Amino acid sequence: MDEAPGLSDQYRTASPWPVFIALGIPISELGLLFGLFPLAVGGLLLFGGSVVGILKESGYVTSTIRAVTALAAIFLAFGAGLAFTDIALVTRGYAVIAAAILLVVGGVVFELFVREQRQTF
């Protein structure tokens, strides 16, 4: 019956990522709305990291680093828009930019160290 294997064709029945995506969204929203820098950065990191994680897990992307960079680019554009245009929400903009940078750093660290270790297991 699986001739048309649907839109995502893997049916593993457990994934650790959804909870964290769902947590990342409200945390970053709260941070951005009320201008709470750490919450904004942390929430975006949680959200971004989990999105990359879930995309990787479900096979929609193959390279972690490229997915991270793409997402960071979106964040960067958004952050720059907030900080450097007439919108002038400077702190919030910097928070998003900081999250973008940290996301890339995290991605690189993961690629260089963590994944290596896993494979030698």
Partner 1 sequence: MEVNGQLALTVLMGVFLIAVAAWLARVEDWRSYTPLAGGGTVGGTAEQYVSEEKPSGVIRWLTTVDHKDIGMLYGAYALVAFAVGGLMVVLMRIELADPSMTLISNTFYNSLLTSHGITMLFLFGTPIIAAFSNYFIPLLIGADDMAFPRINAIAFWLLPPAALLIWAGFFPIPDVIPAQTAWTMYTPLSAGVGSGNQMNAGVDLMLLGLHLSGVSATMGAINFIATIFTERNEKVSWANLDIFSWTILTQSGLILFAFPLLGSAIVMLLLDRNFGTMFFSVDGGAILWQHLFWFFGHPEVYILVLPPMGIVSLVLPRFAGRRLFGFKFVVYSTLAIGVLSFGVWAHHMFATGIDPRLRASFMAVSLAIAIPSAVKTFNWITTMWNGKIRLTTPMLFCIGFVSNFIIGGVTGVFLASIPVDLVLHDTYYVVGHFHYIVMGAIAFAGFAGLYYWFPIYTGRMYQVTLGKWHFWLSMVGTNLTFFAMILLGYGGMPRRYATYLPQFATLHQVATVGALILLVGQIIFVWNFVQSWLEGREVQDGDPWDLADDDLVTAEWTWFERKLETAVTDGGEEETELATDGGQTVDDADAESADDA
Which residue ranges make up the site for partner 1 (CB under 8 A)?
1-23, 25-26, 29-30, 33-34, 36-39, 41-42, 45-46, 53-54, 57-58, 89, 114, 121
As measured in angstroms, the least distance from the Cβ of 91 to partner 1 is 11
Rg (CA), the chain: 16
Written as one string, the DSSP assignment of 15-33 is: -SHHHHHHHHHHHHHHHHH
Min separation Cβ 73 and partner 1, Å = 21
Q: Which of 53, 43, 62, 56 is nearest to 102 (CA)?
A: 43
To the nearest whole angstrom, how small is the minimum distance from the Cβ of residue 116 to partner 1? 14
**Both ends of the chain: CA-CA distance in Å?**
38
